[in-house]
Structure 1
Amino acid sequence: MTPGTTGNAPDHVTLRQILAHDEDGVLRLLHAPAGQDVTVHGVIIGEEGSARPYDGRIVLAAGPAPDPAAVREAARRGAAAVVLREPEGAPVPAEALDAADECGIALLARAEWADWGDTLALLRSATAFASAGRAGLLADDVADGGLAALATATARSCRGSITVEDTRFRVLAHSATGPGADGVRLSTILGGRVPDRRVAELRRSGLLHALWTSQDVIHRAADGDSPERLVVAVRSGGEMLGSLWAAADGRRLSPDAAAVLRRAAALAVPHLLRHRLRESGTARREAHALRGLLHGDGDRHAHLWSLGLPPDTPCAVVVAVRGDTEEAGADRTLEALAIQATASRSVARALREQDQVAVLLPVSDDADDRREALALARELDALAAGIPGTAPVWIGAGQTVRSGLDAPLSYAKALQVVRALREREARGRDPRPVRHAGAGDVGPTIDALHMLDAVRPVWEAGAGPVHELIRADLATGGDLVRSLAAYLETAGDVPRAARRLTLHPNTLRYRLRRVRERFGLDLDDPDTRLVLALAVRLTGVI
């Protein structure tokens, strides 16, 4: 492999073949002045300031914005095509298209939901298909029939039953099952994946370790009801993509079964690369659509279509937000919550973003279903609480909206619920921390927070004795601010406020007297108490 490149395709790979392979729409052809049958020799990430020739490769222009100069430079250095990152919400500039037309070079745009890793994976997969070959053992039988045809042809050649599995032990294809098939094969095919108990057995026996590390076919002799088996890893370079299993099915495997399986593994590479690309692309496209839907970005109808949701489906959003932490297991907690949400409710869609998980939950108009979001919040809270040593997680359930088009409203409300829960916990409002709720459970706190947000600019632009008190006291530790907060929240009940502060009542009375004498504030005046109450809340020290 040439330094600086990500792979070299054979001479017969064309732009047309690459685009035909792109079933998920990672790339969009913008302009091909020389046609789509131009030869592509590989892919390379564009390098500024380098004079090295591109020699017919596709150049990934990974800069922050489409640059006509980069198109001209790629053409000057012999590139076959340039892939640009399309600006969000805007077409590629006409100047870039004009440059491509002028230089006779193909121009493509990367899909907004994809990244450069998806683009590389697509080109790698297309290259593998083109270079797999059409001659020799199995190739003519398989042709373009995919993994199912490969499994059938391999089974016929080695006189056994074949399963093709990915690295998560899911069955991607299998040959026909004969009357002599063993129970493990039947349960694997019926369940669509290798049973957990079987995976555990293979791990204990060391066979999985051998499979993950061996470059050759592994033989496992018949044992009781378990027939003779052969297994080989499917690899692209050093990367494990999956495995092929051959099991004797009422008769002995052919003498050349190992050679057949070895050749089948080579032919399976492009198919497993395509499977991985499609799976990654689907997940990334759905995440892009869900992110756009929740944040109100882009075409919401298109986002719902990408998620497979009709626009008239009621839904609610549940958000779990993790507290600030550098603990190693914090991300695993959020991952566990996302898995739980989608595993327990197949219609749910989960999105991980930094310190939170947002779940879009389609519901029906039934009254019980409309409480489903709060039930999910309760389940996620119980799961988070049961994970030892993790940072706190607050979970808010937004209101049910009549359509996924209104999901941003429910998402915003769920975030408001989380903020209210954190505020109540910070101020010790609840005897025990309450870390999940719906909007109706913390409505007054949400309203108070909205009012504080509205009054903050007025407070910050003002001046006077209350401002002087807050500024001076915070500079020396904030004892007076905390004392005033407790005094005002207990409606002037000194003994109760003192207990909250763990102070003697006389100490609190002394502090209140200092407020009156030093800053000239009348704590019996309703307007003064209102301004003080707002001011101490806006400080954020309580």
Structure 2
Amino acid sequence: MKRWSRRARPGGEALQSLVDGLAEELGRSVVLDDPLVRMICTSRHFGDEDPVRVRTLLQGIADDEAIRYVLAQGVARWTGPGVLPGRDDLGLRPRYCVPIRERGHLLGILMVVAAKPLTPADTEAIDRAARAVAAEMYAERLASDADEERTRRLVHHLVGSEVTLRWAAHRCLLDEGLLPAGPHAVVTGVAVAGQRGPSGHVSVALRGALEPFRRTRTARGLAAVDQDRAVLVQVFETEPTDEDLDLQSRGIVRSLRTFLDADAVPLVGVGGRRTGLADAWISHDQARVALRAARRLPRLEGIGDWERLGEYAVLLQLPDSALDGALLPKPLRRLLDGGGNARLEETLRCFLENAGSVPRTAEALEVHRTSLYYRLRRIQDITGLDLDDGAHRLVLHLGLRLWDLLQEPGEGHRP
């Protein structure tokens, strides 16, 4: 029999001892996971291992599909022990699960492989171990909460508007070696909308999703989490490319979709690339604009990047109260309100984005030039504007960009 085991994280020897002791008493495999079903520590095998357990030990983390399955069963909401049904297609045997709670906080999930039924003596032993684990984890939680609160405060001061606090936080982060001074600083904002899960689960998911980016091969970072939103400050050794940051953003979104309900909408906004930590506040302000873009432009698929927003970066400086239909130029409103004009709107967009070039527009739309000229005349008749006039084209182009920002996700460009 293979005797694979995974030792506890540093400082978790007490938890490892409790898990090992329970496993030996039961003669069953036991694992302690955090609230996101990521392994904290585990016992050796007892011949009851399944593919999910083996893969978790080899990889250090369960597959996303297995994590989603466990969380979808509502384990994070359970107030007492229960049996998690097995899934043959996942290679998962049934687990007896005990949510580890203390003073209203979900600290973790104790799981026992239940390939064969548990006896009353077994469940009594599990209950005793769970109480001891809860006490140990709560003590750890109190210590880590103090550190996390201090980090959160420093990050918020670093990117805040108060100059004195900003410089004090900057000096503290450098003096304590929490972040290097440079040479390349980037701030990423993350938010979650639509989550209907238990209170506090979003902040736990945000911490879990951002944790891998606190230290990477090329960057050091710190994260500040506040309920349903977070700020990640990173300092890179070499300037990150757009592709690097896009890959990171997609990783954050993917993790949040794994940890949260299907209704949750993760949003990421990446700020501009600055030359040092002292200018992280500028990147933060830009990240907030990029986050608004991610929320308002469905085509961005939840990820906005300041460096690639173009004219939207200017328009999104407007407050939400100003972004309404009243901003749309009347000529464009006449075109949008004219039922059945979706084809004319598409034509106008393509014409403007091709700098008014008829040959390129006809090629892009795959229409004959005669048909294109007809459509352009119709657009001029409806709007009352001259498409040969640069100022008139600017009015229409700007209006279409505003129209994009006024759409609800999934609406497309319907008036």
Larger RCO: Structure 1 or Structure 2 (Cα < 8 Å, ≥ 6 residues apart)?
A: 2
TM-score where L is the length of structure 2: 0.50
Structure of greater Rg: 1
